[in-house]
Structure 1
């Protein structure tokens, strides 16, 4: 008898961007539901690998944006970032990707659920539906008066990264730079502080993954919620600007927060390269370091599927059992693996989503 895979609730994927770039039409919707259209994530492969759900990111792309991942090679790099995105462009793509998620739910006939509470997530997982949470990576759709924030929250938005790596009206992200500390410039703007306080009031998780170090500490001083980075790794192992320093980990632990392991190989490998020929051992090395810094209740998974080059061993969601097996072989017990795979996310979401 085949044992069912341990369910994984994941902190970050970019499948909505992939579907948007593929036209965002009914054919794109069906490609997710029936499989066979490439990428890292679709419904059949999610079921095969025990991918039970996660935060489904909306990332508003810049016009004519280069594939920067191809440039993350060599002894070092410092990639130019796109200019700030216009509000109208951010709103157009953000609303289109939100629509894709809602249409996925309708077309799936119960196989996909948009979840607005932890009770919704647990109920979806219990009945075998894919539990999706609306998340934004880069708040370019939100105006300075935060009117759109209320609208998106009412629609189901429960997690937001104020910035991607390019600057916007809320703050400054980290560039794609190796080697580099995350201390790369100015942090939040005055509107960024307003956004943090508004997210606290509404019970929206604030994702710190792309925010630079100054912005991180400004959120830490302003927010009354657990500090969370949905898809980041350990700077002491891979000194890329996107990873977190030990001091940042200490603050996250003190707040009762969580960090999701990012599978992007440039944020795993000590050489900072985007290279699929990367072993699962380096993922375990980061998990060990995260457990040492955060404890067993602070470590989760944040794959960045469909948004990065990932190790061949976990080349799509159907292969997630290989990561679980690597944890088992390394000596992680079943209870710890279940915490990392899903329970730590559900716990921190439960503590964050109550308005404050």
Structure 2
């Protein structure tokens, strides 16, 4: 079995929303969601970026986002910003859940802070977990809390999810739409980029709009990375990357992780699980053509999206590798896509 290192998952969100059941959710497996320790071990899940993500408060008059995304076109309103004072406690709690997972797994999972630690975990069969933050609401303008989270193990950060932060602007959930949807980084965002570079915290551009993407590309001395994004040429969602952006990522020595979310895979943008291999293979072929075989991997978005029914949960990873093999991808390429490219990027970045 080829081990898979994954660019993005939201398992910590499940623990954050139901902490009383975290042992059942993570340790024993409840047959729900996309990830738990038994299924990860059975599927050859070698590790990945575990996201600290804070859900937006909902109101009784909010639109039915799921229904709207099943029937494009759509242009969903952005959630309101979450202030730092409301974000810091749940974000610290989510980080604590990841550290608990390391202890509770009794050696099956390790929170990694360096690329050599990830490499050692892959060699030993230990799940390598990198702490990631999806949306920097829990980072204050002075960046003091960035250092706090870095001390806890934070090694990857997305300055925005779709809602705005004090650092920049994300793209809305819109189809069809390009990523040029608003202004770039704020002055605080520019300072954040520089401090992440200094601390060797990887910057994730997956939810950032085009102007912000351009600002990071201009300011950062690190490879450009989109941990869970797809090709706009195949699926014209605001969340996907244009060919120009893909070329910039390639030329920087960066990476893109293929997002399994059906609404970012399918050419019609529909969020329906009844999705076969064709849009996945079309996305992979296009990304390979634009990025080259050294700059592409997987970024599932497990536990944070609707996946194709042919993949479903983490146990579908061997099926995905088999489908790519049947499509003509040889084993050396599959090993690059599944883990070697991510490992090489971590050595270049961390």
Distance 2:91 2:267 in 1: 34
Q: What's 1:247 paired with?
A: 244
- Matched-pair contact (CA < 8 Å) for 2:24–2:30: no
Structure 1 unpaired stretches of 5+ = none
- Cα-to-partner distance string for 1:55-114 (whole Å, 9 max, x where unaligned): 000111222276734431223001112101011221111111001011111111111110
Distance 1:247 1:38 in 2: 38
Distance 2:82 2:56 in 1: 6
1:147 aligns with 2:148: no
Deviation of 1:336 after TM superposition, in Å, equals 0.5
Range 60-69 or range 47-56, more displaced? 60-69
Deviation of 1:37 after TM superposition, in Å, equals 4.8
Q: Secondary structure at the match of 1:296?
A: coil
Structure 2 unpaired stretches of 5+ = none
| Matched length | 347
Q: What's 2:119 paired with?
A: 122
Distance 1:178 1:79 in 2: 9
Distance 1:29 1:97 in 2: 14
Aligned pairs for 1:254-269 within 5 A: 254-269=251-266
Change in Cα spacing, 1:54 to 1:69, as seen in structure 2 (3 Å) is farther
Aligned pairs for 1:143-292 within 5 A: 143-292=140-289
1:56 aligns with 2:53: no
Q: Normalising by structure 2, report the TM-score.
A: 0.97
1:96 aligns with 2:120: no
1:314 aligns with 2:311: yes
Distance 1:294 1:31 in 2: 36
Deviation of 1:29 after TM superposition, in Å, equals 2.9
Deviation of 1:273 after TM superposition, in Å, equals 0.8
